[in-house]
Amino acid sequence: MRITPAVTNILNNYESDNPGVKTNLARMLMHGALGGTGRLMILPIDQGFEHGPARCFAGNPDAYDPFFHYQMAVDGEFSAYAAPLGMLEAGAATFAGGVPTILKMNSSNSLMNKDLPGDQAITASISDALRLGCSAIGFTIYPGSDASLDMFEEVSALTAEAKSCGLAVVIWSYPRGSVSKAGEKAIDVVAYGAHMACLLGAHIIKVKLPTDYFELAEAKTQYITHHVPITTLTDRVRHVVQCCFNGRRIVVFSGDEVKDTNGVLDEVRAIHAGGGNGSIIGRNCFKRPRPEAMNMIQDIIEIYKG
C-alpha cells in the first residue's frame, strides 16, 4: 500500500529518526481500517497484570484466552495490538503478520502495598520486542509519583535502545502520587504529563481524557489569564494535542473505565473533533460480548473516518 500524504506528513515530524523507526510507525499508521488516515486505533491488553484476571475477564470468559484478543485486533482491523510479553508470546506464531504489535515493557500489580509510591517493574527487553517482530515498545510513566524520576531514567535508556534498533516508542503517561485522585485527570496535569512524554522522546503518547478540573494553582492562573479554551471535551483534547509539540507528536486517548456504548462514541467524537490521533481502548472492547464489541469498533472506525 502506498504511503498516503496524511501519513507522510506525520512521519515528517520525526526528524531525527532512522528509516527503521519510520517504517514501523508507517506499519501502524497504514494498517487496519484506519490505515492511511493519520488516525490510530490500538487494542491494549495489559489490564490482567494490573488488576488480576478475574477482575478483567470473568465477565467475558473467552477473554482469558490470548487468542481472543489477537483475533479481536485482527478482525476489528485495529492499527496495532499492545500487550505484555507473555500475552504476545502466546499467539506470536499463529498471528504473525496479522496486526502490528507493541510490547508493553513495564507493569505493576494491585496486590502491592498501597502506601508505596506508584511504580512499575521492567518485565521485558528490546531483544524480546525484536524477536517477536514488534513495531514498537510501550512504557508507563507516573509523573508526580515519588518513583517518577527512576521511571524517566528507565524509559530514557529503553527509548535510546529501541530507536537504535528501529523500534517506535509509545509512552503511557498517567500522573499519580502527589496529585489528588481528581487531579489525575485534571486538564493541567494531563497536558503536563503528555508534554513530559514528548520530552522523553515518545513517538506516540497515550493519556486519559482530561476533565475541566485544575489541580495546580499556578497553572490555573495561566489558563484563566490567557483564556485557554477547556470548556468542552473537544477543547481539552485540542489543548493536549497542542501540548504535544503543537500536534507534531501522535496522541491517542485511553478508553478508561467501562461505559455504555454511547459514552464511548461520544468520547471518540470529541477526540476526532479535537484533532487527537485516535483511541487506545481495551476494557471497553474485551469486557463486552464479542458481537457487541465488534459493532462498537465499527462505529468508532466510521467516526474517525469522518
User: pLDDT means per 10 residues in the chain (306 residues)?
Assistant: 94 98 98 98 92 90 95 97 97 97 94 88 98 98 97 98 98 95 97 98 98 97 98 98 98 90 96 98 91 96 96
Beta-bridged to residue 81, according to DSSP, are 43, 101
The secondary structure of 191-250 as a DSSP string is HHHHHHHHHTT-SEEEEPPPBS----HHHHHHHHHTT---SSHHHHHHHHHHHTGGGTSE
Determine whether domain 5-304 maps to CATH 3.90.1150.10: no
Pairing between strand 168-173 and 136-141?
Answer: parallel
Task: Report the alpha-carbon distance of residue 35 to residue 1 in Å, rounded.
Answer: 9
Phi-psi region of 256 (alpha: psi -120 to 50; beta: other; left: phi over 0): left
| 269 SS3 class | helix
User: Which residue in this structure is represented by grid cell 465499527?
Assistant: 298
Helix (H, G, I), strand (E, B) or coil at 177: coil
Handedness of CA 259, 99, 238, 234 (dihedral sign): negative
Please tell me what DSSP assigns to residue 54.
Answer: H
Q: For cell 490500538, name the residue.
A: 42
pLDDT given for residue 244 in this prediction: 98
The helix, strand and coil proportions of the chain, stated in percent and rounded to the nearest 5, come to 45, 15, 40
Q: What is the pLDDT at residue 172?
A: 98
Q: Facing residues of 175 across strands? A: none
Longest Cα–Cα distance of the chain, Å, equals 56
Domain residue ranges of the chain, discontinuous segments joined by +: 5-304
Q: What is the pLDDT of residue 219?
A: 97
Integer Cα distance of 242 and 246 in angstroms = 4
Letter for the amino acid at 305? K
- DSSP letter (8 states) at residue 279: E
Residue 47: per-residue pLDDT? 87
Tell which residue, 141, 105, 147, has the closest CA to residue 122: 105
CB 253 within 8 A of CB 280: yes
Q: Do 43 and 282 meet the contact criterion of CB atoms below 8 Å apart?
A: yes
Measured at the CA of 184, the angle between CA 171 and CA 182, to 5 degrees, comes to 165
User: What's the pTM value of the predicted model, to 2 decimals?
Assistant: 0.96
**Residue 176: CA count within 13 A, CB half-sphere:** 18
Please give the grid coordinates belonging to residue 20: 527503521
Amino acid at 173: S
